[in-house]
Structure 1
Amino acid sequence: MELKQVQYFIALFEEGTVTRAAKRLNIAQPALSMQIAKIETEIRQKLFERGPHGMAPTEAARLMYRLYTPIMRDIDHAREHLSRRDVIVTGRVSLGMVSSEAQSVLPESLARFDALFPQVEVSVADGFSAQLIDAVEAGRLDAAIINKPRGRLSLDVEPLLVEEMVLVTSAAHGPALPDAIDLTQPFDFELVLPTRRNGLRGALDAALMAADVVIQPKFEIDLLSTIVQFVEQSAVATILPRVVVQPKVDDGLLRVHTIASPPIVRHIIQVTHPKRPIGSAAQALISIITEEIRRVTTRAPE
Structure 2
Amino acid sequence: MELKQIQYFIALFEEGTVTRAARRLNIAQPALSMQIAKLETEIRQKLFERGPHGMAPTEAARLMYRLYTPIMRDIDHAREHLSRRDVIVTGRVSLGMVSSEAQSVLPESLARFDALFPQVEVSVADGFSAQLIDAVESGRLDAAIINKPRGRLTLHVEPLIVEEMVLVTSVVHGPELPDEIDLTQQSGIEFVLPTRRNGLRGALDAALMAADVVIKPKFEIDLLSTIVQFVEQSSVATILPRVVVQAKVDEGALRARTIASPPIVRHIIQVTHPKRPIGPAAQALITIITDEIKRVTTGVMGKQAP
* TM-score between both structures, scaled by the size of structure 1: 0.77
User: C-alpha offsets along residues 159-216 of structure 1, whole Å, 9 cap, x if unaligned?
Assistant: 1000000000001110011110000113211000000000000000000011011110
Q: Is the 8 A contact 2:156 2:271 kept in 1?
A: yes
User: C-alpha offsets along residues 71-120 of structure 1, whole Å, 9 cap, x if unaligned?
Assistant: 99999889634531221111000000000000000011001111111110
| Residues 23/204 of structure 1: CA separation in 2 closer, same or farther (3 Å cut) | closer
User: C-alpha offsets along residues 130-168 of structure 1, whole Å, 9 cap, x if unaligned?
Assistant: 000000000000000000001111111111000000000
Shift of 1:24: 5.0
Tell me whether 47-56 or 112-121 shows the greater mean CA deviation: 47-56
Q: Is the 8 A contact 1:74 1:287 kept in 2?
A: no
Distance across 2 between alignment mates of 1:209 and 1:171 = 29
Distance across 1 between alignment mates of 2:217 and 2:71 = 36
Q: Is the 8 A contact 1:78 1:284 kept in 2?
A: no
Stretches of structure 2 lacking an aligned partner (at least 5 in a row): 299-303
Answering whether residue 99 of structure 2 is matched by residue 94 of structure 1, we say no
Q: Is the 8 A contact 1:71 1:160 kept in 2?
A: no
Tell me whether 42-51 or 87-96 shows the greater mean CA deviation: 42-51
User: C-alpha offsets along residues 53-74 of structure 1, whole Å, 9 cap, x if unaligned?
Assistant: 9999999999999999999999
| Residues 173/53 of structure 1: CA separation in 2 closer, same or farther (3 Å cut) | closer
Shift of 1:23: 4.0
Q: Is the 8 A contact 2:78 2:116 kept in 1?
A: no
Q: Is the 8 A contact 1:163 1:265 kept in 2?
A: yes
| Residues 276/226 of structure 1: CA separation in 2 closer, same or farther (3 Å cut) | same
Distance across 1 between alignment mates of 2:233 and 2:33 = 44
Q: Is the 8 A contact 1:161 1:267 kept in 2?
A: yes
| Residues 143/69 of structure 1: CA separation in 2 closer, same or farther (3 Å cut) | farther
What is the match of residue 173 of structure 1?
173
| Residues 55/256 of structure 1: CA separation in 2 closer, same or farther (3 Å cut) | closer
Q: Is the 8 A contact 1:170 1:235 kept in 2?
A: yes
Distance across 2 between alignment mates of 1:295 and 1:14 = 12
Task: Report the aligned-residue RMSD.
Answer: 7.5
* Secondary structure at the counterpart of residue 246 of structure 2: helix
| Residues 205/42 of structure 1: CA separation in 2 closer, same or farther (3 Å cut) | farther
Shift of 1:49: 22
What is the match of residue 77 of structure 1?
77
Shift of 1:233: 0.2
Distance across 1 between alignment mates of 2:20 and 2:189 = 51
User: C-alpha offsets along residues 221-240 of structure 1, whole Å, 9 cap, x if unaligned?
Assistant: 00000000000000000000
* Secondary structure at the counterpart of residue 287 of structure 1: helix
What is the match of residue 301 of structure 2?
none
Shift of 1:251: 0.4
Q: Is the 8 A contact 1:207 1:263 kept in 2?
A: yes
| Residues 121/53 of structure 1: CA separation in 2 closer, same or farther (3 Å cut) | closer
Distance across 2 between alignment mates of 1:78 and 1:26 = 23
Tell me whether 197-206 or 48-57 shows the greater mean CA deviation: 48-57
Shift of 1:242: 0.5
Q: Is the 8 A contact 1:70 1:158 kept in 2?
A: no
Q: Is the 8 A contact 1:101 1:244 kept in 2?
A: yes
Q: Is the 8 A contact 1:189 1:237 kept in 2?
A: yes
Distance across 2 between alignment mates of 1:178 and 1:220 = 25
Answering whether residue 289 of structure 2 is matched by residue 300 of structure 1, we say no
Distance across 2 between alignment mates of 1:206 and 1:61 = 35
Distance across 2 between alignment mates of 1:104 and 1:172 = 23
Distance across 2 between alignment mates of 1:53 and 1:112 = 35
Give % identity.
91
* Secondary structure at the counterpart of residue 184 of structure 1: coil
Shift of 1:28: 4.1
Stretches of structure 1 lacking an aligned partner (at least 5 in a row): none
Tell me whether 33-42 or 13-22 shows the greater mean CA deviation: 33-42
Distance across 2 between alignment mates of 1:91 and 1:266 = 32
Shift of 1:29: 4.8
Tell me whether 72-81 or 126-135 shows the greater mean CA deviation: 72-81
Q: Is the 8 A contact 2:148 2:268 kept in 1?
A: yes
Tell me whether 180-189 or 46-55 shows the greater mean CA deviation: 46-55
Q: Is the 8 A contact 1:246 1:300 kept in 2?
A: no
Q: Is the 8 A contact 1:78 1:280 kept in 2?
A: no
Q: Is the 8 A contact 2:66 2:295 kept in 1?
A: no
